[in-house]
Structure formats: C-alpha cells, structure tokens
C-alpha cells in the first residue's frame, strides 16, 4: 500500500507543474496587450503601465515564472485587478459555499443512488426495477442548468416554497440551508441517476456470484444478503467515481451558483471571466484544479484500499 | 524455414487479418439489429433522427423566420398561429427551437469530429511508438483532463471570445484526450497482433500500418464514445450560450432561449419551459441510444434470444 501511495502521490507532480505552466501562460494566450485588454478601451497609458508593473509584466518571462511559482508556494495568488482585494481572501470567502453545495450533493446522490441501485438489483425485472431505471435515466438526462432553471421556476417563483436568489444570511444557518435546498437538488439529480445505474449493474453482477448463492442456500433473506454482503462490493465503483463526480459537480456548481446567484467559487470565476480579471481567474482555476486533482487522488487511493488487486496492476 | 514457407505463413496471417476486419463490419450490422429490436433504441434513434431532420431542413419546417419580430404579439400563449407561443419580442418560439437544433447539431458533430481526428491518431501513434513519445502524449492528456472540463471551457471561451468556430475548437480541445486514451489502449493490444507483424515483414511503413491496419480495427469503441459525446456536446453548446460565452443573440440556440426565459422567469414561464423540454428530450434520446449501443457492444449483456 505504501509503495502504491508514494507512486500515486509523486505521479501528480508533473501534472501539477503543467497546470501551473498553463495558468501562467494564460496571460500570453490573451490576444493583444493583456493590461490594456483587462482595463478596457478607456484606459490611459499611465493606468496600463501601472497595471503592467503590478502584474510584473515589465520583467522577463523567466523572472515572472519564478515569481509566479514562488508566490503560489507562499499562498499568495495576487490581487484582483478591479477590487484590489487579495485573491486568496476572495476565494476563501467563496469556498465554503461551493464546498457545502458540492459535498451535500455528493452525499445525497451517493446515499439515495446506492439505495435505489440495490433496490433495483434485488427486485430485478419487477415494477420497482423498471421504475428506478426510468427515473435514473431521466435524472441523468436533465442538464444541471436546465434543472436549476426549472426548479427555480416551479418551487421558488411559482410556489414560493424556497427563496429565489442568494446564499442566505451570514451566520443564520437555517436561512442558509433554505437557500441551499434547490441548488443541491439541481446538482444532485444527474449524479444520483448515474450512481443508481452504476450500483444496479455491479450489484446484479455480485448477486450472481457463487458466495452469494451459498449464503442464499443457507436461507438468508434477500434484503439481508443485499445490504450485508452485496452492498460492500457495490460501494467500490461508487468510490472509484468520486473523482469524476467532484469534477462534474464543481462544473455544475458554476451554473447552479450563477443561476441562484450564490457567492461560490464558480460565481467568482465566471464574474472574473466576464470582467477579464486575470489574477482572480488564475487563482480560481488553480483552486478548482487542485480540488479536482486531490479528489481523484483520494478516489484512487481509497479504491486501491478497498480493492487491493489494483495495487499490483 | 525455407523462404516460400515463410511467404505462405505470412499470407495465412494476412488472411486472418482480413477475416478480422470483416468481423468488425459484422459487429456493426449486429448493433443495428439490436437497436431495431429494442424499443428504447428505436425511441432514442427516432428522437435523434427528428432533431437531425430539423437541423437539416429548418427553413422548410419552421413556420416563421426565427428572427421575425412581432412586438404587438409578444409573450403570446400557444395558439393556432404560434403553436408554442412567442417570446419577449414576439418571435415564434417553435421556429426558434427548430433553428436551435441546427446550432446544436453543427456544434456537436463538428467538435466530436475534430476531437476524433486529433485524439485517435495521437493515441495510436503514442502507443505504437512507445517510449518518450508515449510519455509526452499521456502527459498532455493528463494535464488537459486535470482541469474540471467546465472551468477549462469557460476560461478558454473567455480568452478566445465567443464565436461558433471557437466553441467548436474549444469543445474539441477539451474532449480529444478521451479519444486519445481509448485509441492508445486499443492500439497497445492491437500492435502485438500477428497481422501487424505480417504487414511489417512485408515492408509496410509505420504510417501505412497505423492508417490501414490499426485504425480500422480500433474504431468500434471510438464510435460508441463519439455517439455518447454528441449528447454532451449538445448540452455544452446550450450551456455556453446560456452563459453568454457561446453563440450570441439574436442567433437561435436552445441555450440563448433558456437564458432569455430566465430573464423573464417571473412573467413568461413558457419561455423557459419549451427550450428546457426540448433539451431534456434530446438528452433522453441520446442516453437511450447510447444505452442500447452499450448493450449491443457488450456481449455479456446481449439479449437472451441473440
């Protein structure tokens, strides 16, 4: 396990370096002079020069790359071109909203997805199975931004069950949870359907195995077998797709946060993208990429832990 | 071994290779059979077919010009004249949905096509050569995949600006590593085959082997992946247009229509509901189709009376 662990952890270093290099080169990908583009057409030459200086654009490339990496290693992501707030602070104040959103979606999807999947598998080819299959297929087919719009239309605008916009009053947990419900449902749907189908397929495969047949022949009831023996193995593929799920949910969070106007990372990045606030974009994308890489690493490691065969491949 | 015996051996292996590629064709006809037999496949295929028809013949099918405004008639409810009603400047929603199919089809087909064209050769070359080429190509794939695709697409769309060509290129750029990975894995198995050795010993160049002997044999999983990706790309086109980073108004795109509906969410719910329904049905059709495709290509899940 230790060998596999070191191999996987060291394996992300080249990827991390390339991610940094890509983010650093973003500024050169912008067509034209970056400072004047960020400031817009009404910028005076002195403003452009000042921004060039504060972004370090007047220095040679290798010095800048060195500074960039050095600053990041010291937890400094620069400051916003417009508001002059430190990017780290901006992102840190937004991060809890996004983490609350994605984690609760992930938990809900995993919980209900596993139950639905096991139920469908143990009742194969009955009404329950067909119902769950159809429901999960529909859930998978609704893009999260469409789900968000529809949920908002039905439950917030028409029925007025939930508040329409915002992340809730700061410090008021109840209000924040009320603001969280619709976004979480919008984000959960797709992933829930995916997990339900995945768990159904693996559980079916496991229920067909010899050791389950042996337990069955001892007279154990089906529900006992499913939740005591089959579930353990059915969870493995769910764990393996956590990395994928975090990527998908982080992506979905961008749309959901925008639609419900929640102050999360996705909203910070999109706002910065439209304002051409490059330091914020770079910082936000870095954080998102880090979360994604980390989630993939955790998923890989726990997969290897649950299924030791992986380590020897 | 005498020389002519070697030649006979080679020609035998050559024949086995030809039989193999014939098997591939048989597989495809088998897939079509399964799709025709399964009601889910039929439903999926007909939804996709209707959307393709709408995309191809939108000027003939649409009752109105998608950009024809009728301010006096704005926010009108469905009637015999405007089957699905009109939007905030009196444009016919049905016509705009039909033209939206065209944007969705162009973006998804072109971006998947380009992604396949870049990813498959890269993956095949990497696997065939191995060594440093393989390492570099895999690193490129890994870096692109280490960004959550939404954020990557968002940033690239913001940098290069919104236009039809840019969306297609960006979507192709973020999705080609998936094809590269599949092509690489398939080529790794394929290159150990005796038919490849036979071709090599007959003096075929690397390029010829890759193009004529490896590519045709690794295509079937790629086709499945591409089929599933079409739906994802349709979703992306709408999502980007929804954000304002895709097609720009007044173009007719499902994403733009949804966005405009979102603006009028308090007053005109139909402006959200219609594009949402069309998007969901499209995705559903693609999922059904992909599901049956998966069943058809996975012998373990073959239907009992196969």
Q: Which domains, from first to last, does chain A contain?
A: 15-75 (no CATH), 91-304 (1.10.3720.10)
Q: How many Cα neighbours within 13 Å face the side chain of B149?
A: 21
Cis peptide bond prior to B250, omega within 30° of 0 = yes
Instruction: Please count the other Cβ atoms lying within 10 Å of the Cβ belonging to residue A71.
Output: 13
Give the nearest chain A residue to B148 (CA atoms).
A247
Helical axes A278-306 vs A242-259, angle rounded to 10°: 150
CA B250, chain centre distance (Å):
26
pLDDT digit string (tens) for A229-242?
A: 777 777 877 887 77
Task: Indicate whether this model's pTM tops 0.80.
Answer: yes
Q: Which residues pair with A195 in a beta bridge?
A: none
Question: Which candidate from A143, A250, A270 shows the least CB-CB separation from B243?
Answer: A270
Question: Residue A44: is it exposed, middle or buried by C-beta count within 10 angstroms (0-12/13-18/19+)?
Answer: exposed
- How many Cβ pairs within 8 Å bridge chains A and B? 120
Q: Do B272 and A254 lie within an 8 Å CB cutoff?
A: no
Calpha distance A185→A163 (Å, rounded): 14
In the DSSP assignment, the letter for residue A157 is I
Taking contacts as CB-CB distances below 8 angstroms, the residues of chain B near A26 are 155, 159
pLDDT digit string (tens) for B188-234?
A: 888 888 888 888 888 888 888 888 888 877 877 788 788 888 888 99
Calpha distance B40→A215 (Å, rounded): 35
CA B237, chain centre distance (Å):
12
Is the Cβ–Cβ distance between A282 and A289 less than 8 Å? no
Task: Tell whether B166 is within 8 A of chain A (Cβ).
Answer: no
Give the residue carrying structure tokens 């469908």: A120
Dihedral pair phi/psi, residue A162, rounded to 5°: -125, 155
Taking contacts as CB-CB distances below 8 angstroms, the residues of chain A near B261 are 149
pLDDT < 50 positions in chain B: 301-306
Cα B193–Cα B195–Cα B200 angle in degrees, nearest 5:
105
SS3 label, residue B299 = helix
Task: Tell whether B48 is within 8 A of chain A (Cβ).
Answer: no
Q: Do B243 and A252 lie within an 8 Å CB cutoff?
A: no
Q: How many Cα neighbours within 13 Å face the side chain of B136?
A: 6
Residues 103-142 of B with CB under 8 A from A: 139, 142
Question: Which candidate from A19, A143, A255 shows the least CB-CB separation from B279?
Answer: A143
Cβ-based neighbours of B148, under 8 Å, separated by 6 or more: A246, A247, A248, A250, A251, A288, A289, A292
Among candidates A233, A249, A245, which has minimal Cα distance to A303?
Answer: A233
Q: Do A285 and B151 lie within an 8 Å CB cutoff?
A: yes
Residues 279-308 of A with CB under 8 A from B: 281, 284-285, 288-289, 292-293, 296
Please tell me the distance in Å from B32's CA to the nearest CA on chain A.
22
ipTM value for the complex: 0.81
pLDDT at B304: 43
| Rounded CA Rg of chain B | 24
Cβ-based neighbours of A26, under 8 Å, separated by 6 or more: A278, A281, A282, B155, B159
Q: What is the CATH number of domain B15-301?
A: 1.10.3720.10
A53-69 burial string, b = 16+ CB within 10 Å, else e? Answer: eebeeeeeeeebeeebe
Instruction: Please count the other Cβ atoms lying within 10 Å of the Cβ belonging to residue A12.
Output: 17
Give the nearest chain A residue to B275 (CA atoms).
A146
**Domain ranges, ordered by start, for chain B:** 15-301
Q: Do A276 and B158 lie within an 8 Å CB cutoff?
A: yes
Taking contacts as CB-CB distances below 8 angstroms, the residues of chain A near B280 are 138, 141-143, 146
Task: Tell whether A150 is within 8 A of chain B (Cβ).
Answer: yes
Among candidates B222, B117, B225, B218, which has minimal Cα distance to B168?
Answer: B117
Task: Tell whether B97 is within 8 A of chain A (Cβ).
Answer: no
Per-residue pLDDT of chain A (313 residues; tens, 9 = 90+): 778 888 888 878 887 888 888 888 877 776 666 676 667 777 777 877 777 777 777 777 778 788 778 888 877 777 777 777 888 888 888 888 888 898 899 889 988 998 898 888 888 888 999 999 889 988 988 988 999 888 888 888 878 777 777 766 776 777 778 888 889 999 999 889 989 988 888 888 888 888 888 888 888 887 788 777 777 777 877 887 777 788 788 888 888 998 888 888 888 888 888 887 888 888 888 888 888 888 888 888 887 787 777 666 5
Give the nearest chain B residue to A282 (CA atoms).
B155
Question: Which candidate from B152, B235, B244 shows the least CB-CB separation from A143?
Answer: B235
Please tell me the distance in Å from B169's CA to the nearest CA on chain A.
15
């Amino acid at each position: 396990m230790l060998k596999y662990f070191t191999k996987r952890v060291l394996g992300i270093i080249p990827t991390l370096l390339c991610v940094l290099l890509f983010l650093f080169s973003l500024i050169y990908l912008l067509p034209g002079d970056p400072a004047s583009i960020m400031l817009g057409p009404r910028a005076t030459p002195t403003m452009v020069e000042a921004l060039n200086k504060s972004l370090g654009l007047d220095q040679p490339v290798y010095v800048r790359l060195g500074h960039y990496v050095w600053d990041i290693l010291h937890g400094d992501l620069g400051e916003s071109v417009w508001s002059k707030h430190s990017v780290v602070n901006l992102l840190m104040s937004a991060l809890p909203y996004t983490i609350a959103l994605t984690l609760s979606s992930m938990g809900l999807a995993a919980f209900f997805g596993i139950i639905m999947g096991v139920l469908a598998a143990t009742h194969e080819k009955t009404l329950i199975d067909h119902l769950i299959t159809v429901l999960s297929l529909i859930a998978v087919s609704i893009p999260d931004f469409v789900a968000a719009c529809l949920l908002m239309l039905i439950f917030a605008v028409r029925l007025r069950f939930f508040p329409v916009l915002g992340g809730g009053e700061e410090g008021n947990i109840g209000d924040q949870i009320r603001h969280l419900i619709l976004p979480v449902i919008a984000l959960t749907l797709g992933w829930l359907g995916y997990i339900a189908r995945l768990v159904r397929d693996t559980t079916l495969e496991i229920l067909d195995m010899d050791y389950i047949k042996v337990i069955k022949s001892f007279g154990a009831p089906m529900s006992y077998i499913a939740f005591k023996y089959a579930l353990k193995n059915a969870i493995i593929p769910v764990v393996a797709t956590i990395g994928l799920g975090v990527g998908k949910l982080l992506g979905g969070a961008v749309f959901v946060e925008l639609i419900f106007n929640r102050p999360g990372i996705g909203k910070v990045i999109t706002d910065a993208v439209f304002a051409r606030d490059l330091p914020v974009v770079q910082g936000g994308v870095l954080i998102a990429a880090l979360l994604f890489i980390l989630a993939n690493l955790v998923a890989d490691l726990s997969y290897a832990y649950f299924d030791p065969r992986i380590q020897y491949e | 071994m005498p020389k002519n015996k070697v030649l006979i051996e080679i020609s035998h292996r050559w024949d086995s290779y030809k039989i193999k590629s014939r098997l591939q064709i048989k597989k495809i006809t088998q897939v079509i059979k399964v799709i025709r037999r399964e009601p889910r496949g039929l439903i999926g295929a007909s939804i996709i077919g209707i959307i393709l028809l709408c995309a191809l013949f939108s000027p003939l099918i649409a009752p109105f010009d998608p950009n024809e405004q009728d301010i006096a008639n704005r926010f009108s409810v469905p009637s015999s004249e405007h089957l699905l009603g009109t939007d905030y400047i009196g444009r016919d929603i049905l016509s705009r949905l039909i033209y939206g199919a065209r944007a969705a089809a162009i973006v998804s087909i072109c971006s998947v096509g380009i992604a396949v064209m870049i990813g498959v050769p890269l993956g095949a070359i990497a696997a065939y050569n191995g060594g440093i080429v393989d390492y570099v190509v895999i690193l490129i794939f890994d870096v692109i995949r280490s960004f959550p695709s939404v954020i990557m697409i968002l940033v690239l769309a913001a940098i290069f600006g919104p236009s039809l060509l840019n969306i297609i290129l960006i979507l192709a750029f973020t999705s080609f590593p998936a094809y590269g990975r599949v092509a690489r894995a398939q080529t790794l198995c394929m290159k150990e085959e005796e038919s490849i050795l036979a071709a090599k010993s007959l003096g075929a160049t690397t390029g010829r082997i890759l193009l004529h002997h490896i590519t045709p044999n690794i295509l079937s999983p790629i086709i499945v992946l591409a089929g599933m990706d079409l739906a994802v790309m349709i979703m992306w086109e709408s999502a980007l247009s929804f954000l304002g980073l895709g097609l720009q108004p007044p173009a007719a795109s499902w994403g733009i229509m949804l966005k405009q509906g979102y603006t009028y969410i308090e007053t005109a719910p139909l402006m959200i509901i219609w594009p949402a329904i069309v998007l969901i049905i499209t995705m559903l059709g693609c999922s059904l189709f992909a599901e049956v495709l998966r069943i058809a290509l996975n012998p373990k899940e073959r239907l009992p009376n196969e």
